[in-house]
């Protein structure tokens, strides 16, 4: 089952050298770009440990950033053990 799901979503979410319909390419050409190439490079680069540390310090302590219920206090308390896994 896991293999079937992985294959299914891999096919949907990957696009390798797809020949687009010329009509679609014309439409896409008219959609304005909102970010520059340099901005895109910043968005897709790997996150650094310094960025994670800064983000953790800037969050409200009593909040849980995800539905699992673990608060920022938890992450702060155990950051030395968790940080590599989070990165």
Report whether pLDDT(31) > 70.
yes
Total count of domains within the chain? 1
CB atoms within 10 A of CB 5: 9
Backbone angles phi, psi at 79, to 5 degrees: -60, -40
The phi-psi region of residue 42 (left if phi > 0; otherwise alpha if psi is between -120 and 50; otherwise beta) is alpha
Residue 49: per-residue pLDDT: 94
Whole-angstrom Cα distance, residue 3 to residue 9?
10
User: CA 14, 25, 37: angle at the middle one, nearest 5?
Assistant: 70
On whether residue 10 sits in a domain, the answer given is no
Host domain of residue 36: 17-86
Residue 36 lies in a domain: yes
Q: Is the pLDDT of residue 17 over 80?
A: no
Q: Percentage of the chain surpassing pLDDT 90? A: 38
Most confident segment among 49-53, 60-64, 68-72: 49-53
> What mean pLDDT is reported for the chain?
85
Q: Report if residue 44 sits inside a domain.
A: yes
Q: Per the domain annotation, does 5 fall within a domain? A: no
Domain for residue 7, yes or no?
no
pLDDT bracket for residue 19 (50, 70, 90): low
Residue 82 lies in a domain: yes
In a domain, 56, yes or no: yes
Assess if residue 58 is contained within a domain.
Answer: yes
């Amino acid at each position: 089952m896991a293999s079937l799901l992985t294959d299914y979503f891999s096919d949907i979410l990957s696009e390798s050298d797809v020949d687009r319909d010329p009509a679609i390419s014309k439409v896409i050409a008219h959609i304005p770009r909102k970010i520059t190439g340099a901005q895109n490079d910043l968005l897709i680069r790997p996150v650094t440990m310094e960025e994670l540390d800064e983000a953790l310090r800037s969050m409200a302590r009593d909040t849980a950033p995800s539905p699992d219920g673990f608060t920022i206090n938890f992450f702060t308390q155990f950051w030395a053990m968790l940080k590599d896994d989070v990165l």
